[in-house]
Amino acid sequence: MILSVGFVTGLFAWCIFRVLRGPRDPQKLAHIEPIEESEADRR
């Protein structure tokens, strides 16, 4: 129980933290990370 509940709670908390910490302006959501290494100049 502890493993299952702990895992899903931890995953959910981590995801929400990442989302809330992310860019707030919806217009700037794009191009946060380049698609491929060869496109690193887009960083």
Partner 1 sequence: MSKPQEAWSSRLGVILAVAGSAVGLGNFLRFPGLAAQYGGGAFMIAYFVSLVVIGIPICWIEWTLGREGGRSGFHSTSGIFHVLIRRPWAKYLGVIGFVVPVSIYMYYVYIEAWCLGYAVNALTGRLSEPGVNFADFFAQFTGAGQDGVALKFGLQDVGIFLVAVFALNFYFIYRGISKGIELVCKYAMPALIVIAIIILARVLTLGTPDAAKPDQSVLNGLGFLWNPGEIGRGLLNPQLWLAAAGQIFFSLSVGFGVIITYASYLRKQDDIVLSGLTASAANEFCEVGLGGLITVPAAFVFLGAAGTSSAVASGSFGLGFNVLPEVFARMPGGQVFATIFFILLFLAAITSSLSMLQPGIAFLEEGLGIGRRASVALLGLITAVGTLFVWYFSKDLKALDTIDFWVGTLMLFVQATILIIIFGWVVGVEKGWKIAHEGAEMRIPNFFKFVIKFVTPAFLLAIFVMFTLRSVFGWNFSFADPVFDPTGYVRDLVGDSPNRVARMTMGLIIIMTVFTIVLVNIAGKVWGRAEKLGKETA
Q: Is 38 in the site for partner 1 (CB under 8 A)?
A: no
Q: Is 40 in the site for partner 1 (CB under 8 A)?
A: no
Torsion of CA 15, 18, 21, 24, to 10 degrees: -80
Instruction: Mark 13-28 as b/e (b = at least 16 C-beta within 10 Å).
Output: eeeeeeeeeeeeeeee
Report the residue number, 11 or 40, with the smaller CB distance to partner 1.
Answer: 11
Q: Is 12 in the site for partner 1 (CB under 8 A)?
A: yes
Q: Applying CB under 8 A, which residues contact partner 1? A: 1, 3-5, 7-9, 11-12, 14-16, 18-20, 22, 26, 29-33, 35-36
